[in-house]
């Protein structure tokens, strides 16, 4: 029997609650589909920061590097500034492990309260391929003339040819396995250095994939299309920031933040990939046991799929669909009154 070594970092807020449920479902899937999971849990979080002054130990990356995969809850909580907590854990891990693809698939799930809930499921199935290692997320810049009337800040973006090309290429390869359509999101009318560079590389890569339909859109217009004509989109490739924003929008139209999974992927397989919900630690509902665990359960399905356990991944997704379709167990975001634990257990039981 294959044994996978997995690291779990529940993190902060509802990250803790939903990760318990995702592990429950994965353990059930492992038992059912004939593989085994060896878990190690890491208490890296804002709580750790408050006690020890760091989100993770100095050798945190080295500690994680031997694992087959990482399941991350969410990071960030009031009391620790977001730029400290996120640049102390999530962002350095994505970079250290060269997880340059942030894959964020969404599809219209049964029983959701989306504004587009009336649509047919096949109209609303798309994937955001978000650049995950550079771009607008940059520590370069600074504050000048502090305290003076002419005070200003500079926030630099860094787009490398290698970084842009590899994410666009990944999107085209992925499109070949789906509907053969790629749409690139930029803002070349406003950002006159980075985005025209991205467009140029997009056109070059597109020329290598004549069988894939390619399109470029301004990200603002693309946001509108995503709501009004989502059936015209399939693979959407975007920079770090645009991909971040578009993925919350995509989540909202397909069922809400409680339902959208994500994978931080190192396509070479040389370092572990890391799976998490698209959502954050939701301090507004933390500690109440009412967060929707579906996003994290679907992220766990992406994790086992990444490990090659495709049948188990599909079974998890089918179990989620069955439970949502029945509609007996619903957390408050889905219009019900059930707990995180109840919904997680329902999905685990639906696995048989």
Which DSSP string do the residues of 116-136 spell out, in sequence order? TTTS-GGGSEEEEEEE-SSBT
For residue 53, the Cα-to-chain-centroid distance in whole angstroms is: 27
For ligand IPM, the binding residues in 275-304 under the rule CB under 6 A are 278, 280
What is the C-alpha to C-alpha distance for residues 71 and 49, in angstroms, rounded to an integer?
Answer: 20
User: With CB cut-offs between 5 and 8 Å by kind, which of ligand NAD, ligand IPM, Mn ion, none does residue 292 bind?
Assistant: ligand NAD
User: With CB cut-offs between 5 and 8 Å by kind, which of ligand IPM, Mn ion, ligand NAD, none does residue 163 bind?
Assistant: none
User: With CB cut-offs between 5 and 8 Å by kind, which of ligand NAD, ligand IPM, Mn ion, none does residue 105 bind?
Assistant: none
For ligand IPM, the binding residues in 231-250 under the rule CB under 6 A are 244
Interface with ligand NAD, residue 86, by CB under 6 A: yes
What is the C-alpha to C-alpha distance for residues 279 and 296, in angstroms, rounded to an integer?
Answer: 9
- Closer to ligand NAD by CB, 294 or 313: give it: 294
- Closer to ligand NAD by CB, 254 or 292: give it: 292
What is the C-alpha to C-alpha distance for residues 58 and 36, in angstroms, rounded to an integer?
Answer: 30
HSE at residue 231, side-chain half, CA atoms within 13 A, is 6
Which DSSP string do the residues of 20-36 spell out, in sequence order? HHHHHHHHHHHHHHTEE
- Closer to ligand IPM by CB, 91 or 312: give it: 91
Which DSSP string do the residues of 126-186 spell out, in sequence order? EEEEEE-SSBT----EEEESTTSTT-EEEE--B--HHHHHHHHHHHHHHHHTTTSEEEEEE
- Closer to ligand NAD by CB, 94 or 206: give it: 94
By rule CB under 6 A, what string of x and - marks binding of each residue 249-278 to ligand NAD? --------xx-----------------x--
Count Cβ atoms within 10 A of the Cβ of residue 189 and give its class: 0-12 exposed, 13-18 middle, 19 or more buried: exposed
- The angle formed by the CA atoms of residues 117, 120 and 125, to the nearest 5 degrees, is 90
What is the C-alpha to C-alpha distance for residues 334 and 324, in angstroms, rounded to an integer?
Answer: 9
Least separation in angstroms between residue 287's CB and ligand NAD is 12
User: With CB cut-offs between 5 and 8 Å by kind, which of ligand IPM, ligand NAD, Mn ion, none does residue 133 bind?
Assistant: none
For ligand IPM, the binding residues in 118-177 under the rule CB under 6 A are none
Q: Rg for the chain (alpha carbons), in Å?
A: 20
- Closer to ligand NAD by CB, 273 or 281: give it: 281
What is the C-alpha to C-alpha distance for residues 304 and 319, in angstroms, rounded to an integer?
Answer: 15
- Closer to ligand IPM by CB, 256 or 280: give it: 280
- Applying CB under 6 A, which of residues 10, 60, 69, 76 lies at the interface with ligand NAD? 76
Give the bridge partners for 41, in sequence order. Answer: 8
- Closer to ligand NAD by CB, 76 or 105: give it: 76
Binding site for Mn ion (CB under 5 A): 244
Interface residue list for ligand NAD (CB under 6 A): 14, 18, 74-76, 82, 86, 90, 257-258, 276, 279-285, 291-292, 295, 333
């Amino acid at each position: 029997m294959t044994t996978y070594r997995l690291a779990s970092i529940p993190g902060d807020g509802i990250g803790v609650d939903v990760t318990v449920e995702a592990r429950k479902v994965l353990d059930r899937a492992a038992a059912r589909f004939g593989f085994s999971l060896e878990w190690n849990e890491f208490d890296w979080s804002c709580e750790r920061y408050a006690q020890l002054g760091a989100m993770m130990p100095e050798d945190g990356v080295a500690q994680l590097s031997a694992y087959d995969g990482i399941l991350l809850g969410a990071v960030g909580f009031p009391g620790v500034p977001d730029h400290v907590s996120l640049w102390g854990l999530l962002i350095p891990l994505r970079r250290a492990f060269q997880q340059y693809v942030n894959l964020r698939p969404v599809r219209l799930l049964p029983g959701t309260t989306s504004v587009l809930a009336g649509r047919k499921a096949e109209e609303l199935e798309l994937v955001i391929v978000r650049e995950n290692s550079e771009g607008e997320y940059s520590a370069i810049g600074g504050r000048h003339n502090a305290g003076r009337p002419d005070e200003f800040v500079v926030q630099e973006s860094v787009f490398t040819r290698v970084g842009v090309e590899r994410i666009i290429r990944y999107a085209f390869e992925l499109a070949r396995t789906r509907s053969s359509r790629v749409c690139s999101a930029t803002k070349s009318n406003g950002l006159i250095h980075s985005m025209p560079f991205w467009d140029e590389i997009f056109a070059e890569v597109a020329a290598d994939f004549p069988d894939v339909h390619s399109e470029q859109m301004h990200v603002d217009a693309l946001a509108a299309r995503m709501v009004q004509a989502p059936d015209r989109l399939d693979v959407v490739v975007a920079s770090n920031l645009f991909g971040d924003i578009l993925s919350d929008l995509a989540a909202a139209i397909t069922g809400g933040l409680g339902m959208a999974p994500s994978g931080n992927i190192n396509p070479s397989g040389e370092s572990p990939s890391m799976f998490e919900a698209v959502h954050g630690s939701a301090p507004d509902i933390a500690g109440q046991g009412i967060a929707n665990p579906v996003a994290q359960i679907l992220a766990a399905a992406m994790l086992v799929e990444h490990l090659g356990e495709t049948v188990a991944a599909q079974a998890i997704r089918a179990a989620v669909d069955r439970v949502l379709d029945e509609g007996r167990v619903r957390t408050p975001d889905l219009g019900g009154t059930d707990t995180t634990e109840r919904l997680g257990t329902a999905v685990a039981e639906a696995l048989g």
